[in-house]
Structure 1
Amino acid sequence: MTAYSVLVPFVPSRPEQMLPFAGLVHWTGAHRLWQGQSLSTESHQGFAYAAGAGFRVPAGLGVTLMPLRHPTEAALQARSLSLMTGEPVLAGYGPGAPGVQQALLGAPYRSPLTAAREYLGAVRAALAGGPEVLDGTYVHQESLLRPVPGPKVELGLGVLRPGMARVAGEVADAAITWLTPARYLREHIVPAVRESAERTGRPAPRVVAMVPLALEAHDRDPVQLALASNRNHLRAAHYRDMLRRGGVDLPDEVPEGTGPPDDNELLQGKALIAGDAFLYGGPDGLRAGLDAYREAGVDEIVLNVTGVARVFGPQAATKELRALLTLLGLAV
């Protein structure tokens, strides 16, 4: 059965901004609370603050940039969060864009797939506290952590294309996607994850889809919402490649992403909506759009209302999420 979760749709600058979203998970049938990578405030600490305020909910980190922390530190942070909240943690990691790798490591990974495979293996080994020494192309790690009983920590891998999906099938507990149309998941990602897991002789990882969406309303411009949610992603070559593989008819010109949207960028936003990468519509339309993800083999759908938060503010985003959870029968 497909689970539905909630993404905090902005980077909190004050810890109390987390609480309405943690409360949604605490008081409804939502499965998990997610945060993405932040370079303003540390996501692990936001979850810990919410737990201290009484909202102990399952946490998802999707996805943390691998170059930011050594695998031992990544394991320590994820395990600490599970112990502080008393709830399971799904910690997702990804190599990030080549520019990020260059800025943090001095050079991009020659093989992001090898780097991801080694990194998740090292985090898993650190969590287990085994004696092995790992000495790979990108990761060196000697055991420092001892195993500690507590809630389960699972490892996810950020996936956009079939190559990384196959790595997820080999080493991850979950393949985590962002902005991926349902048809692309059905035709490319889910089969790659399952086939790779079968070859490796392990259970197939769950597939988690972060789905940007918004309810239709008379005062809303869907293109504005789509761009507010995904403007930066449309500038990234790996996202544009994924979207085109998924049947999104993006214009060739890459948007600059600064200042008011020009005609080209408006066409990019319209393409996201037409290609079902950004879901917009009334209750029946959104329910059908989300059903397509479930039918594609997605195990956990994360409701992403970042566009609503950026255009109308956090309170509107909280209200939107409650309306969506009610639509899905998870809230009243």
Structure 2
Amino acid sequence: MLETNQGFAYLAGAGVRVPVGIGVTLAPLRHPYYAAMEARSLALATGQPVTFGLGPGGTSFQTGVRGEPYRSQLGAMREYITTVRQLLAGGEVHAEAETFRCDARLAQCPAPPVELGFGVLRPRMARLAGETADVAITWLTPASYLRDTVVPALEEGAQSAGRPRPRLATILPIARRRPQHEPFKLAMASNFAHSRAPHYIDMLGKAGIAVDAADPIAGAKAIVAGGAFLCGDVDELAGMVQQYWDAGVDEVILNVTGIYNVEGAEAAVEELEVLLAALAASPAAPSTRAETIGAR
């Protein structure tokens, strides 16, 4: 509904200059040169570090904007993130990739650091993130799936490249239980498009959550039951979030899109205030920064 980079730039112009993260910017919409310039521009506008997440999007989206999907999702993203990183580092780039050409150098100036992230759902992309990214960004991924599948794949990729495992940042769709809204309806308000996308259905299946695009209500109920959408009272939610820290997540991002879509912005802000206060007060809360994102 609002292009994320422009939204953050608007906030910076309004005086809200804080570290920001994007999970994720879709590569089919941007030449790598523009992505690098956009990420660096955001760091300059905010005066703060930026985590710039990149992802290929679904194959149907790729076809819709390119006329065809990437022949190789992994190959396209490896070429893409490598080129963006080289441009941000100030090097002269000569790349003849399958999906783009880049013979250019990004004009250099002092700027806060930019972290490059990868949107990760499945093991092969996680291994690539382990090799090439600063941070792996996940969405709708149950804690057990991260522990058993994503974290080992990240470690495997990092080990093969002789580098430390990238940070793991997980976006959690979350809501307190409400008498006026059944949990599956909040999940549908938050994740309806994801529960119909083949790559999300495949990931959820690997996580033991059976979702059928033809039955979105049953899919939403399965997503809640399987712990991909978190819903409960405050104490229950604190326990659910703790499972993510225990699974090896380094950064938790709370997403209240479901509340925003059914009750509006005021209710969403209140939800974040209550949840952040409760989670920060939890004895098991790690000493990392708490972050919020209102919509994705």
TM-score by length of 1: 0.82
Q: 2:269 aligns with which of 318, 323, 330?
A: 318
Aligned residues of 2:189 and 2:258 also touching (Cα < 8 A)? yes
Name the counterpart of 1:171.
132
Matched ranges for 1:179-190 at <5 A: 179-190=140-151
Name the counterpart of 2:117.
156
Q: 1:284 aligns with which of 218, 231, 235?
A: 235
Greater than 6 Å deviation, 4+ residue runs = none
CA distance in 1, matches of 2:34, 2:210: 41
Name the counterpart of 2:68.
107
- Shift, 1:148, TM fit: 2.0
Name the counterpart of 2:278.
327
Higher relative contact order (CA 8 A, sep 6+): 1
CA distance in 1, matches of 2:32, 2:130: 20
Name the counterpart of 1:94.
55
Please list the CA deviations of residues 47-96 of structure 1 after superposition, one character each: whole Å capped at 9, or x if unmatched: 11111222111111111110101000000011011011000001111111
CA distance in 1, matches of 2:93, 2:9: 31
Aligned residues of 2:93 and 2:105 also touching (Cα < 8 A)? no
1:214 pairs with 2:175: yes
CA distance in 2, matches of 1:132, 1:243: 38
> Which SS does the other structure have where 2:128 is aligned?
helix
Q: Which runs of 5+ in 1 are unaligned?
A: 1-10, 12-40, 256-263
Larger CA deviation: 97-106 vs 64-73: 97-106
CA distance in 1, matches of 2:28, 2:102: 15
Name the counterpart of 1:143.
104
1:79 pairs with 2:30: no
Amino acid at match of 2:221: K
Name the counterpart of 2:166.
205
- Shift, 1:291, TM fit: 0.5
The aligned length equals 282
Matched ranges for 1:177-326 at <5 A: 177-250=138-211, 253-255=212-214, 264-326=215-277
Aligned residues of 2:170 and 2:251 also touching (Cα < 8 A)? yes
Aligned residues of 1:83 and 1:151 also touching (Cα < 8 A)? yes
> Which SS does the other structure have where 2:80 is aligned?
helix
Provide the aligned C-alpha RMSD in A.
1.4
Name the counterpart of 1:261.
none
- The sequence identity of aligned pairs, in percent, is 51
- Shift, 1:267, TM fit: 1.6
Aligned residues of 2:136 and 2:167 also touching (Cα < 8 A)? yes
> Which SS does the other structure have where 1:210 is aligned?
strand
Amino acid at match of 2:147: R
> Which SS does the other structure have where 1:209 is aligned?
strand
- Shift, 1:140, TM fit: 1.9
- Shift, 1:116, TM fit: 0.5
> Which SS does the other structure have where 2:280 is aligned?
coil
Aligned residues of 1:209 and 1:302 also touching (Cα < 8 A)? yes
Larger CA deviation: 135-144 vs 237-246: 135-144
CA distance in 1, matches of 2:196, 2:6: 30
Aligned residues of 2:196 and 2:216 also touching (Cα < 8 A)? no
Amino acid at match of 1:320: E
Larger CA deviation: 292-301 vs 213-222: 213-222
Q: Which runs of 5+ in 2 are unaligned?
A: 282-289, 291-296
Name the counterpart of 2:285.
none
Q: 1:133 aligns with which of 62, 75, 94?
A: 94
> Which SS does the other structure have where 2:17 is aligned?
coil
> Which SS does the other structure have where 1:328 is aligned?
helix
CA distance in 1, matches of 2:30, 2:243: 36
Larger CA deviation: 108-117 vs 52-61: 52-61
Larger CA deviation: 181-190 vs 103-112: 103-112
TM-score by length of 2: 0.92
Amino acid at match of 1:254: A
Aligned residues of 1:280 and 1:286 also touching (Cα < 8 A)? yes
Name the counterpart of 2:286.
none
- Shift, 1:102, TM fit: 1.2
CA distance in 2, matches of 1:190, 1:254: 27
